Structure 1
């Protein structure tokens, strides 16, 4: 295969401070690096995921809103693998992050739900057993 995996996913935030708090403090993603790029009036934050991939957050002056409803062509959602869906939902609920009702994937039998980031980007939480 030519591709070995996903290195990073990049998101543009409407409110950088709010998104930084959500992804770093609420979801617990460690910061790899953070830079202000004056020529672009833009922050760039690299956050680590446990599998070695990264989530990049960018801020830009006045980004246009994301078309989500009805669903538009392009990125549909970002899915995170979790070991214990009920524990994650409870932890997020304690931080005032609402989740949709838990559903079961009709093809895999695995449970999942959706939450939204501060910009309304749908984030899926997909339950997978932890590797032994």
Structure 2
């Protein structure tokens, strides 16, 4: 029998400034705008062809995030070379959540925050 549930299509970020955050993800993390609406809502595509949606926030208060805050925690991005990724992000002066640590299932991880405070995780699997 053919599988019905195939996997994750895309996560979404509700942004205070959708256009600015979209541009940051494109300029800093290598996404491209695959689709957009007039709202504006953007569907970004990563180099590996996975998607990330950017949509306008509704004005609700934003909780302070750390790795174990209840609910969705972070967006994990797989990288081929975490040292190069960290150096690249240092040039963009990202705020790091803490030091590098070992990934569940093996590998290296480091968390940072995008310009609107969303936690993003770099993952290099071994």
TM-score under structure 2 length normalisation: 0.83
TM-score under structure 1 length normalisation: 0.80
> Cα offset for 1:63?
2.0
Match of residue 43 from structure 2: 46
How many positions carry a matched residue from both structures?
122
5+ residue gaps, structure 1: 38-42
Q: Secondary structure at the match of 1:67?
A: coil
- Cα distance 1:69–1:44, how it changes in 2: closer, same or farther (>3 A)? closer
1:16 aligned to which of 14, 18, 22: 18
2 CA distance for matches of 1:73 and 1:104?
21
Match of residue 63 from structure 1: 59
Match of residue 40 from structure 1: none
5+ residue gaps, structure 2: none
C-alpha offsets along residues 2-54 of structure 1, whole Å, 9 cap, x if unaligned? 321211111100122331222111111011022213xxxxx101100233321
1 CA distance for matches of 2:19 and 2:100?
29
1 CA distance for matches of 2:65 and 2:25?
23
> Cα offset for 1:123?
0.7
2 CA distance for matches of 1:72 and 1:10?
18
Q: Secondary structure at the match of 1:75?
A: coil
> Cα offset for 1:72?
4.4
